[in-house]
Structure 1
Amino acid sequence: MLPESKVINFMGWRKTCATISIVLLLVSIVSLAVRGIEFGLDFTGGSQVELGFDRPADLPTIRSVLAEEGLENPVAVLFGSDSEVLVRTQDALREGALEELEERLAALGSDVQLEEQRNAPSNQTRFAEILVISGASEDQLRGANLFPQRYFGDTAFGTEGDRVTVSIQNSLDNVYTQSLIGVLEEATGASIELRRSEFVGPQVGDELRDQGGLGLLFALAVVMIYVAIRFQYKFSVGGVVALVHDVIIVLGVFSLLGMDFDLTVLAAVLAVIGYSLNDTIVVFDRVRENFRIIRRGSPKEIINTSLTQTLERTLLTSMTTLLVLVVLYVFGGELIRGFAFALLVGVLVGTYSSIYVSANILVTLKLTKEDLMPPQKEGEEQEDMMP
């Protein structure tokens, strides 16, 4: 056993640290229950547009324009170069086009309204959608110039009883995108080209969220089985409690700060599970070894010795990882900032839980040397009794 002066009494603080952990968990759980998590575009559905500028993009101006347009949680980040911008919003862009169109129709009279939108028949490959308008004549709609070609493309008018049909070449998503590009060109003075426009439906988002949650639970179950097989069930309980502790606190921090939770953050949470488990396994391995070789000393003293022996390795690993994550958070750009922040929180909490949660559980469950004695082989007792 290490000299007494060199052994840090970690378990002397076990009750204080347990209280801190319980408080952090309660705050996180309450925040998750009351405020919830701000799910990002990957989970809620929304639109994503990639724009190409003919000059370096002015992100502050672009973000100001997006906010003025009333988009929900808009994000504008550089994508690939300083002239490529990725715009993400939780709105369906077609809703913006419909709102603008309905405002223009209302200006013609209170009875003029958009009644229906439907996809164009498959044999009309020239057009994308058909709008059905009531309360106005075809001549009124033509004269009001409600469907400028720059945004709607080619149009064709028709009648269905007392209603007017307008076939448009561009979909309403594309219409609003082109309108937004026009506003951005006017604000920035740049020429903008649409590179790509995508829509993520809420149904897809729900599926991603459910599968992500199942993946998280599956990872915890596999960890519990693995640790139980490699060590002993008390270690398994300690390891999984530490992982649950880490995950809930990371989620709680995102809930308290109102940060977007997307697939990159979910990947970071899963990475935190792996990192924290690796650190915990190193501690468990030393605990098991010392329980078998140290003849004297209480379980708390042996655990203190094991934690002291692994402390330098734990701190060095955590510090080097944190340095990389800080650089990634500061210089990595907005797209991966949530990922880097989740890992920063996770590594800090995971380092703490490897010492003061997993080891604390071992003391609480009264781990003894008998729990870690290798099983005796059949016939071994008779062989020992032979002369």
Structure 2
Amino acid sequence: MKPLHLVPDDVNIPFLKFRKIFYIVSLLMVLVSVGLFFAKGLNFGIDFRGGILIEIKTDGPADISGLRNNLGSLGLGDVSIQEFGSSDDVLIQLQRQDGDEKAQMAALATVTKALGENVTIRRSELVGPKVGGELKQAGTYSVVIALLLIMIYIWFRFEWQFAVASVVALLHDVLITVGFFVVTGVQFDLATLAAVLTVAGYSINDTVVVFDRIREYLRKFRKMDIPELLDLSINSTLSRTTMTSFTTLLALIALFAFGGEAIRGFTMALIFGIVIGTYSSICVASPLLIVLNLRRKIPEGEEAPQAGA
């Protein structure tokens, strides 16, 4: 039985020929993502903006529209109600009320009374604005520190051109994934932040595989032009890259379909991020080495071929 290959082993796609198109497409996606972020902003969850979270279990399938009308009439501001796993598990989120903790507790008591005796309150949480602000700051720091550490690692393992290209590709992935959340309006919380960092790790893994092959071929094919060598490196790892992404996506799609509301934002971020990460590893990171003027180390006395424009 022959092994499954999504891409033939002898594939020869001229990726570098279309690098200017890739640059334009990627730049447009990044600019749109950044523009929408500043214009519209993310739909932050209670983790970041503060508020009240209540998880309940109803006696039978939950009447979401009835709950929404009931709680919406209490005058407590924005109320978000959604199924949380099974049809009788419901997650209620309320905006933070004006006032101190007593005001939050009063709002919680009002909601509890309005829900009646036919529901079981499994948990309730209060998140203050100070905690939410601290979590936002910590989340930003975590992304920046992760990118810096990855850059340092790639710099030591390869050369500075590889480090810069990898970090540019990672920034590309992170910014476009954040733009995805702005466009879709999916709630952005600690779980989805973890997904963004996971996407960065997945993307750099793909990129390092291609970079390893580039470094190997720089030593092996001393007379080959750099653009041709980069194409050869990408194509020789393309089967592995697509198969890894495909099998990962199969698992994530199953989680998205059957994992419930609790992890839906997390899986959506991973699905979109893996597609973007695979694209950036192939179409952004490696072609950037041309822009960064990558050169092979040639033994003394041997003339180096010039890279294509």
The letter of the residue matching 2:39 is V
- After superposition, the Cα gap between the structure-2 partners of 1:280 and 1:53, relative to the gap in structure 1 and judged at 3 Å, is same
1:77-92 to 2 correspondences below 5 Å = 77-79=82-84, 82-92=87-97
Matching residue of 1:273 = 200
RMSD (Å), alpha carbons: 2.3
Matching residue of 1:287 = 214
The letter of the residue matching 1:304 is D
Following the alignment from structure 2 to structure 1, what is the Cα–Cα distance between the partners of residues 29 and 248?
A: 23
The letter of the residue matching 1:232 is E
Unaligned runs of 5+ in 2: 1-9, 300-309
Matching residue of 2:239 = 312
Is the partner of 1:55 in helix, strand or coil? coil
1:220-231 to 2 correspondences below 5 Å = 220-231=147-158
Following the alignment from structure 1 to structure 2, what is the Cα–Cα distance between the partners of residues 22 and 260?
A: 25
Is the partner of 2:297 in helix, strand or coil? helix
TM-score by length of 1: 0.69
Matching residue of 1:42 = 47
The letter of the residue matching 1:336 is I
Following the alignment from structure 2 to structure 1, what is the Cα–Cα distance between the partners of residues 103 and 296?
A: 71
Contact conserved, 1:228 with 1:236, CA < 8 A, in 2? yes
Contact conserved, 1:243 with 1:276, CA < 8 A, in 2? yes
Is the partner of 1:198 in helix, strand or coil? strand
CA apart distance, 1:253: 1.5
CA apart distance, 1:356: 1.1
Corresponding pairs, count: 290
- After superposition, the Cα gap between the structure-2 partners of 1:172 and 1:16, relative to the gap in structure 1 and judged at 3 Å, is closer
Is the partner of 1:274 in helix, strand or coil? helix
Following the alignment from structure 2 to structure 1, what is the Cα–Cα distance between the partners of residues 13 and 257?
A: 35
Instruction: Determine if the alignment matches structure 1 residue 24 to structure 2 residue 29.
Output: yes
Q: Name the structure, 1 or 2, with higher relative contact order (CA <8 Å, separation 6+).
A: 2
Matching residue of 1:155 = none
Instruction: Determine if the alignment matches structure 1 residue 52 to structure 2 residue 57.
Output: yes
- After superposition, the Cα gap between the structure-2 partners of 1:71 and 1:49, relative to the gap in structure 1 and judged at 3 Å, is same
Is the partner of 2:53 in helix, strand or coil? strand
Matching residue of 1:62 = 67
CA apart distance, 1:297: 1.6
1:49-128 to 2 correspondences below 5 Å = 49-69=54-74, 71-79=76-84, 82-92=87-97
Identity among equivalent pairs (%): 42
Contact conserved, 1:283 with 1:307, CA < 8 A, in 2? yes
CA apart distance, 1:78: 4.3
Which of the residues 110, 128, 131 maps onto 1:204? 131
Which of the residues 93, 111, 115 maps onto 1:180? 111
Following the alignment from structure 1 to structure 2, what is the Cα–Cα distance between the partners of residues 82 and 251?
A: 30
CA apart distance, 1:312: 0.6
- Deviation digits for residues 105-158 of structure 1 (CA, Å, limit 9, x no counterpart): xxxxxxxxxxxx9x9xxxxxxxxxxxxxxxxxxxxxxxxxxxxxxxxxxxxxxx
1:138-287 to 2 correspondences below 5 Å = 173-185=104-116, 191-287=118-214
Contact conserved, 1:40 with 1:90, CA < 8 A, in 2? no
- After superposition, the Cα gap between the structure-2 partners of 1:64 and 1:360, relative to the gap in structure 1 and judged at 3 Å, is farther
CA apart distance, 1:310: 0.4
The letter of the residue matching 2:205 is N
Following the alignment from structure 2 to structure 1, what is the Cα–Cα distance between the partners of residues 273 and 85?
A: 28
Report the more deviating stretch, 362-371 or 40-49: 362-371
CA apart distance, 1:27: 0.6
CA apart distance, 1:79: 4.7
Give the number of the structure whose alpha-carbon radius of gyration is greater: 1
Matching residue of 1:106 = none
Following the alignment from structure 1 to structure 2, what is the Cα–Cα distance between the partners of residues 80 and 28?
A: 31
CA apart distance, 1:281: 0.4
Is the partner of 1:7 in helix, strand or coil? coil
Following the alignment from structure 2 to structure 1, what is the Cα–Cα distance between the partners of residues 86 and 42?
A: 31
Which of the residues 7, 15, 18 maps onto 1:10? 15
